[in-house]
Amino acid sequence: MGNAISRRIEELEKLTVPLTAQPDLDEYWEDTLRKYAAKPLNAARTPVETPFREMEVFRVEYEGFDDTRIQGWYLLPRLGRDKKLPCLVIYHGYSGSKGYPEDYASYVMMGMAVLAIDVRGQSGETGNLMPQDYGMVRGWITQGILDRDTCYYKAITIDALKALDWVGEQPEIDPARICAMGGSQGGGLAMIAAALSDKLAIAVAHIPNMCYMDFGMLNSTSSLTEASAFVERFPEHLETVTRTLSYYDNLNLAHRIRIPIFVTVGLKDPVTMPETIYAAYNRIEGDKSISVFPFTGHAVTGGQNRQACDFIASRLLK
């Protein structure tokens, strides 16, 4: 049976939990994707001067779910531009932002383009024009949580998908070599993008959130504690909240992932708990790999990043 670590991993690899999907899940997403495919991006890209001579930097704005102007950095290597480039689209963790262009220099050094976007309303330069007709608790995720069409998760999912549309239209980019990547909230967005988008070649989901969300509400210390606090305040809405979240739960959408995906997990993570990640990962039927870090909590370490870079290089930079 092996030691405690190997037994723990073996238990997780065998984990199977019941789906929470509503009967119309696939139909809902087909209709939603069809609707938003026709929505214009109304995008703009503006050159930005930086001290980084080997990196061309643009400020990007586009519209996703609504009229909110999503802000991003678009980065290009100055060398190796004789052919179309692969592109890495990066989503940040909860309460974060797109940061600074130099945060992504390692990927530009690999010869890749990068688009890093803000998640609406959080700590970046992007606002949030979603209407609100019901109270919410601390943070962002309980905005509109009583309906699948008004909830915050729908907005950030569509924003993430429309970022892929924008990248695919850029003249420098090879549309057959696009990767979505992120950690925590960003890992959840990368995973849901892999399930819903036809623009991706591969995906990297570090310690992804948005997996087995009812379990997370009950047990984790993640942003899902906001949903728990909402239901504590409004206990009559428990069923409605869990039904809404089910449409954005990678547990229920994992069967749609048909591209190669690399996932990481920390066995000591109290935020995106291993049970939640494996519950979704084990439902993926295609080309997948998961890297386990037994002593890592809620973090994306240098080791995780290096393995992701190796995965990306082996798939996009051949």
Catalytic positions are 184, 269, 298
3-class SS of residue 262: strand
CA–CA distance, 209 with 224 (Å, rounded to integer): 9
CA–CA distance, 293 with 280 (Å, rounded to integer): 18
- List of residues 6+ apart from 18 with CB closer than 8 A: none
CA–CA distance, 272 with 210 (Å, rounded to integer): 9
Q: Residue 286 is encoded by which pair of tokens? A: 């295609």
Q: Residue 218 is encoded by which pair of tokens? A: 């009950």
Q: Residue 300 is encoded by which pair of tokens? A: 């994306």
Question: What sign results for the dihedral spanned by CA atoms 247, 250, 251, 255?
Answer: positive
Nearest to 277 by CA among 10, 18, 12: 12
Nearest to 253 by CA among 245, 241, 242, 263: 245
* Helix (H) or strand (E) run with residue 33 in it: helix 25-37
Q: Residue 247 is encoded by which pair of tokens? A: 């449409």
